[in-house]
Amino acid sequence: AQSVAQPEDQVNVAEGNPLTVKCTYSVSGNPYLFWYVQYPNRGLQFLLKYITGDNLVKGSYGFEAEFNKSQTSFHLKKPSALVSDSALYFCAVRAINNNDMRFGAGTRLTVKP
Amino acid sequence: GAVVSQHPSWVICKSGTSVKIECRSLDFQATTMFWYRQFPKQSLMLMATSNEGSKATYEQGVEKDKFLINHASLTLSTLTVTSAHPEDSSFYICSARDRGNRRVETQYFGPGTRLLVL
């Protein structure tokens, strides 16, 4: 079965600095990889996905993520963080031949002014 | 974009009562819907997957008699927490996959329902 690890519970960055939220995955075969963001008491909002093609994928709100097959990683990045980026971020994986999506434990990003 | 709604958004009930949560896809047909449970500061845990017109598939450790799922139409799935107890208090999130869209990210999430059992 597929699984996701987000090694950091919390990431703190200063506004304007680059941010990275880490994610590693385990899956049989090729993965579909996703990042979602959750604001307090809200559902999940889709940020970006990797299906195939370019390893660097760009998503909503200036976020991007790099798929690294050899390291089985899919870290989320943004060149310049905003205070409004503060939220809970989830990495998720699906196997190509599997219907269900598995989520990491989440990383709380706090961007300080 | 596609919208998934949940009702109610908040529910407080007494121990022993049953609570029904509705999940609707508002502008698309969803052959598959997923129910997740999220504890404070934790990830989403998949509870069950339901396909329209068939029985739900429950994840290991999830009591099917406790959490009744009905996916009676292509736009509605319901989760009923039967004889709720305080340990059932949680944030329940549904998700729906658009049957008409083959893009793999088209799994849309509802806003969640917070259940508090007293």
> Residue A54 has which token pair?
């370019």
The predicted-structure confidence for B11-60, as pLDDT tens digits, reads as follows: 999 999 999 999 999 888 888 899 999 887 778 888 999 888 788 999 99
Cβ proximity of A83 and A76 under 8 Å: no
Residue B2 has pLDDT above 70, yes or no: no
> Residue A80 has which token pair?
């310049």
- B-chain CB neighbours of A101 within 8 Å are 34, 46, 95, 107
Residue of A nearest to B107 (CA): A46
Could you count the other beta carbons within 10 Å of the beta carbon of residue A91?
29
Tell me the C-alpha distance between A76 and B19, whole Å. 38
- A-chain CB neighbours of B108 within 8 Å are 46
Residue B108 has pLDDT above 80, yes or no: yes
- A-chain CB neighbours of B5 within 8 Å are none
Residue B103 has pLDDT above 70, yes or no: no
Q: Which of B6, B91, B107 lies at the smallest CB-CB distance from A101? A: B107
Tell me the C-alpha distance between A83 and B93, whole Å. 26
Cβ of B49 and A100 within 8 Å? Answer: yes
Going by pLDDT thresholds of 50, 70 and 90, the confidence category of residue B80 is very high
Cβ of A49 and B44 within 8 Å? Answer: no
Cβ proximity of A35 and A50 under 8 Å: no
Please enumerate in sequence order all residues whose Cβ is within 8 A of that of B65, keeping only pairs 6 or more positions apart, or say none.
B82
Q: Which of A34, A90, A102 lies at the smallest CB-CB distance from B105? A: A34
Residue among A6, A99, A102 with most chain B CBs within 10 A, to mutate: A99
pLDDT in tens, chain A (113 residues): 788 999 999 999 999 999 999 999 998 888 899 999 988 777 788 899 998 888 999 998 999 999 999 999 999 999 999 999 999 999 999 877 766 788 999 999 999 99
pLDDT of residue B39: 81
Tell me the C-alpha distance between A113 and A32, whole Å. 34
